[in-house]
């Protein structure tokens, strides 16, 4: 959008707001054939909107113009104030609501045909007999296999109001089976994985701060405490946030009574402090938080509370840097404005919102080009925004949470063979083919020891190399497999293990041993010393 178009939309939007919501009377004076609108901004803009409606050369689609105007107006404020049309608003609410209405399956599309990864227990698809590994061929009469059908469009076809029906046709082995499914309410989980890394250390990976985030983490934590957990690796990498109140409840799990979690303040909003109740079940557990450049918003509130209270150690790379709070303003048509109404501040008093810029959305790219993702010395720090933690450690505002322990992006493992396999999704397609050949055995496995023994007994290496060569024409160069095997084999085992009853827990437990950030976390004391 050009500046001229944005200005036009801004004018139109503000005119609609005043003309429709505020009912401001337009004052215009006609003098010597020239219109002289009042220089009171609102009246000037309202007049402009009315002028467009009455005099534009063609018929004006006021709904379309208003939507565009709202988007243009909000984009002139800050990068996170936004207008969400009805469809986008529905998607955003579904992602955070904790449940949606549909048929209850998870799938991926490794080779132009969707494959069921999980059939949610108790959901509509399980009730009619759909199984993990089924290939999705049609939704009602719409063919979705082998036609490069977009994955998000598949989701939209299968989702729908509870109580409505849809026919999903699948291929299972050599059989084609149509399932008549009555849609229902499906829970959306935000804890991707929770298990013990060793006898003392638990691991919880949280993907988003949906409406049930605290309940899921609480349940996972209680299970791990029952297994002897004394330390916790809390993985918030790639967690882009969600509901503010969930960040408060999750932070409260770790902190003593009256310890500061966060405070909010804006021009039209007085300071609002939030402190811990001291009732959290993890307040006596050692903790480290894993973050990266995609850790944002609510995730940064939790990370900042842990860091500023010297409650634990933060490990990884500088977080995204979103220190703004949005408040929704819904409209009757299902759309909504999300307007930034305040900034949030970590317990030490820092706002971690990164500076606005014309290329704000390319900030992560700039971190790569500047070397920040690879060396600690290149991390961008504004020394004028220095603050002190409870124990007197120096932390910085103005651009995300800077971790206590830096972990660079590892590029040493990216052999040409590995990159070529990634481009063609060879690993995922192989895992899918492997599952097809061993379905009955894999789907019966429900514990890690059995899964690892089974995988150890399979010639995964030989089968994968044969598959890559025959299907994709890919062969490692001399000496290349030796450099690739260490991290590619765990990935293959994890992708296969995901098809067992252990699901995502199997994937992460099998893959994390080659996760450099987790490795460093396991070697790092979780407690912070005074004066560190």
| Kind plus residue range of the DSSP H or E element containing 176 | strand 175-182
Phi, psi dihedral angles at 117 (to 5 degrees): -90, -35
Catalytic residue among 275, 322, 354, 509: 322
* Beta strands 165-172; 135-139: pairing state: antiparallel
* Cβ proximity of 407 and 400 under 8 Å: no
Q: Is the dihedral of CA 69, 74, 80, 84 positive or negative?
A: negative
Closest CA relative to residue 66, chosen from 117, 11, 145, 121: 11
Give the side-chain half-sphere CA count within 13 A for 296. Answer: 15
- What is the three-state SS of 97-140? HCEEEECCEEEECCCCCEEEEEECCCCHHHHHCCCCCCEEEEEC
Active site residue 297: yes
Catalytic residue among 134, 308, 310, 404: 308
Phi, psi dihedral angles at 396 (to 5 degrees): -125, 145
Beta-bridge mates of residue 62: none
d(CA 350, CA 168): 52
With 0-12 CB in 10 A as exposed, 13-18 as middle and 19+ as buried, what is 436? middle
* Cβ proximity of 47 and 12 under 8 Å: no
Active site residue 121: no
Active site residue 378: no
Give the side-chain half-sphere CA count within 13 A for 411. Answer: 6
d(CA 317, CA 399): 12
d(CA 427, CA 492): 6
With 0-12 CB in 10 A as exposed, 13-18 as middle and 19+ as buried, what is 131? middle
d(CA 528, CA 127): 50
Assigned token pair, 406: 């830096």
d(CA 318, CA 320): 7
Q: Is the dihedral of CA 367, 240, 116, 452 positive or negative?
A: positive
With 0-12 CB in 10 A as exposed, 13-18 as middle and 19+ as buried, what is 189? middle
Closest CA relative to residue 401, chosen from 321, 461, 514, 478: 321
Catalytic residue among 297, 319, 335, 342: 297
SS3 (DSSP) at 509 = helix
Query: What long-range pairs does 515-520 form, CB within 8 A, spacing at least 24?
Result: 516/407, 516/410, 517/237, 517/290, 517/292, 517/315, 517/316, 517/407, 518/197, 518/203, 518/233, 518/235, 518/290, 520/315, 520/405, 520/407
- Give catalytic residue positions: 297, 308, 322
């Amino acid at each position: 959008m050009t500046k001229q178009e944005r200005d036009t939309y801004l004018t139109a939007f503000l005119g609609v707001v005043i003309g429709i919501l505020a009912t401001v009377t337009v004052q215009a004076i006609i003098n010597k054939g020239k219109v002289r609108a009042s220089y009171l901004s609102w009246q000037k803009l309202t007049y402009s909107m009315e002028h467009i409606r009455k005099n534009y050369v063609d018929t004006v689609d006021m709904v379309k113009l208003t939507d565009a105007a709202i988007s243009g107006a909000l984009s002139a404020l800050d990068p996170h104030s936004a207008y969400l049309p009805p469809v986008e608003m529905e998607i955003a609410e579904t992602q955070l609501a904790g449940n949606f209405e549909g048929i209850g399956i998870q799938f991926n599309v490794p080779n132009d045909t969707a494959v069921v990864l999980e059939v949610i227990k108790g959901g509509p698809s399980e009730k009619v007999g759909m199984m993990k590994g089924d290939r999705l061929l049609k939704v009602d009469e719409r063919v979705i296999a082998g036609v490069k059908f977009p994955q998000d469009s598949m989701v939209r076809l299968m989702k729908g109001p509870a109580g409505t029906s849809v026919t999903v046709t699948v291929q299972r082995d050599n059989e084609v089976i149509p399932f008549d499914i009555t849609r229902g309410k499906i829970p959306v989980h935000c804890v991707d994985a929770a298990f013990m890394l060793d006898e003392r250390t638990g691991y919880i990976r949280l993907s988003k701060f949906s409406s049930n985030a605290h309940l899921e983490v609480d349940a996972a934590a209680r299970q791990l405490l029952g297994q002897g957990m004394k330390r916790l690796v809390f993985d918030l990498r790639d967690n882009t946030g969600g509901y503010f109140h969930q960040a408060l409840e999750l932070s409260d799990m770790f902190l003593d009574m009256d310890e500061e979690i966060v405070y909010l303040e804006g021009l039209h909003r007085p300071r609002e402090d939030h402190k811990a109740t001291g009732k959290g079940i993890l307040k006596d557990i050692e903790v480290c938080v894993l973050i990266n450049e995609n850790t944002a918003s609510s995730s940064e509130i939790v990370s900042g509370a842990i860091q500023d209270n010297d409650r634990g150690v933060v490990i990884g790379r500088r977080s995204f840097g979103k220190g703004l709070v949005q408040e929704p303003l819904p409209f009757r048509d299902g759309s909504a404005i999300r307007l930034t109404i305040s900034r949030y501040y970590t317990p030490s008093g820092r706002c971690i919102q990164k500076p606005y810029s014309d290329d704000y959305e390319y900030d992560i790219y700039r971190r790569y080009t500047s070397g920040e993702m690879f060396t600690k010395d290149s991390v961008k720090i504004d020394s004028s925004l220095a603050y002190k933690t409870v124990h007197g450690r120096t932390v910085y505002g103005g651009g995300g949470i800077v971790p206590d322990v830096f972990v660079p992006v590892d590029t040493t493992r990216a052999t040409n063979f590995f990159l070529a396999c990634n481009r063609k999704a060879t690993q995922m397609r192989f895992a899918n083919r492997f599952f097809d050949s061993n379905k009955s055995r894999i789907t019966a496995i429900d514990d890690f020891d059995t899964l690892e023994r089974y995988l150890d007994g399979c010639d995964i290496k030989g089968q994968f190399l044969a598959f890559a060569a025959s299907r994709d024409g890919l062969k490692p160069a001399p000496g290349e497999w030796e450099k690739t095997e260490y991290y590619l084999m765990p990935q293959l085992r994890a992708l296969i293990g995901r098809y067992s009853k252990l699901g995502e827990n199997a994937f992460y437990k099998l893959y994390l041993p080659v996760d450099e950030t987790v490795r460093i976390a396991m070697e790092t004391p979780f407690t912070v010393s005074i004066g560190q």
